[in-house]
Structure 1
């Protein structure tokens, strides 16, 4: 079932795109990630231009997050106060990211930068998650610790203007979660990701949030930031392909509900291991795409 994408100017298999959205939706419900870290590279591998893949993936991330937030709200797993602070930082980050995106477009290096950022971020985060998952499953020995464990990073405790976040059980400065949201906003614009694969580790290991509200709060932030990012892309880059986004949403909204259900039945450490392996596989494929010599070094485009 081939469907023509007007912005990407190519035909795609509609069933494949829907199935991709379904898988990404399940991942969103399972791990609290928007799924863009998987959607964007796979669309690029399929042949969709990187700028269109990035811009359209943010639309799909928005729809997936709506479904995931609804599922976690029913379980009381959302800290709306923390989410609001992170959203404020994420909106500022998305505006700054749009400025960077336009600069890269003007220089003609946006595709190369997107590829390198994916390899660096996914490789680093995937490696850390893999180590933590193997330690939690007791497959490898944990690293030696010097001193008692801390709830959150020492730099966070030194920040001024502390607030009490009751749902997360924290008493920290709002500057810290705002900076986390700012970074996620930049990533959402540049890479078309929800930023969950960066935000969730930061919420756990840097902010020290309670595990029961991490996934739901992450999805609230991702929902708002990806919606703003979609609007920014539509107004600046004009690269949002609504047909492609609709096909992705068709599968992902359904998948997010099933993912949230599965998350309550599977061991969390095993889920973290599977996510780490998937992230590393995508990073490796992106690295091969950057290093492998194409059959045709030069292409000619008729305008």
Structure 2
């Protein structure tokens, strides 16, 4: 059944979009990520412009994250104090990202910038995650002990000032890297339509040594608020949020996230990271193919000043 999207200005199959929302919501709940790294390319692949896809997907990510946060909150797997500190940097990063998004759109370079950013970011992150998870699985199969975090282990991050204690995560670190990580996630989310969970989770684990038990739920709290903020900013600044598209994605994402959160409980961490790495790398390679392949129409006509 076809439905017309007023802002995207094209008809789409409502069941296809709903299925996409369900699938990405499931992945979001399973891996503790926003799912925008997958949803935004999927919308672009079915013909929706990158600008509308990025702006509209933010609302889908917020809805999926809200559903996931409720699930993890019930299991007391959310460090609220850490989430609030990340949020302080995340809101600023979101505002800067929306500003850059608007600037690139006015210069006519937004589509190219989004495509290149996806190729570089997803390929690099996916490759690193696959390498790390494969090495962890091989160590496990050979019977070698997995390198666990030692209580006395410190890096240069732990030597920074303005230290704070986060009781739920059992860490004592400076607020500076926490703010910095939040800023990066908010910025990337606003420019690329990515919730940033696939970046935030490894940052919290490897830089701040946040326990895996609380990292996913805490990640989803930041994703929820930054993506809700990005939705409002994009709607008021660029007027690119397609409410019809966003509503369909939100319905599918909210339902899918609940099933994904349950499925993620039954898988080992190394295998979860391997699956996520493969998925991230595959999307990055698909974007690279789209950038270099010759389009069906070598020329297009559009009104001056139109997106």
Q: Same fold (TM over 0.5)?
A: yes
Partner of 2:63: 63
Gapped runs of 5+ residues in structure 2? 143-147
Aligned length: 299
List gaps (5 residues or longer) in structure 1.
143-147
Structure 1 vs Structure 2 CA RMSD? 1.8
- 1:73 and 2:76 matched: no
The separation in 1 between residues aligned to 2:154 and 2:111, in whole angstroms, is: 35
Q: How does 1:97-108 map to 2 (within 5 A)?
A: 97-108=97-108
Describe how 1:1-303 pairs up with structure 2 within 5 A. 1-138=1-138, 154-302=155-303
Question: Residues 18-77 of structure 1, C-alpha deviation per residue, up to 9 Å, x if partnerless?
Answer: 111111111111111000000000100110000000000000001001100000011111
Instruction: Report if aligned partners of 2:149, 2:209 keep a CA contact under 8 Å in 1.
Output: no
Q: Is the 8 A contact 1:153 1:206 kept in 2?
A: no
SS of aligned partner of 2:138: coil
Which consecutive segments of 4 or more residues in structure 1 shift more than 6 A?
139-142, 148-153
CA distance in 1, matches of 2:245, 2:70: 24
Note the C-alpha offset of 1:295: 2.2
**TM-score, length basis structure 1:** 0.95
Q: Is the 8 A contact 1:187 1:193 kept in 2?
A: yes
| Stretch deviating more after TM superposition (148-157 or 84-93) | 148-157
Offset at 1:280? 0.7
Return closer, same or farther for 1:62/1:114 CA change in 2, 3 Å cut-off: same
Structure 2 CA distance for partners of 1:268 and 1:141, relative to 1, 3 Å: closer
Q: Structure 1, residues 127-167: CA drift from partner, whole Å, max 9, x if none?
A: 1110111112117999xxxxx97677723112101000111
Distance in 2 between residues matched to 1:225 and 1:41, nearest whole Å: 20
Once residues 269 and 188 of structure 1 are traced to their aligned partners in structure 2, the CA distance between those partners, rounded to angstroms, is 26
Q: CA deviation at 1:98?
A: 1.1
Whole-angstrom distance in 1 between the partners of 2:154 and 2:57:
32
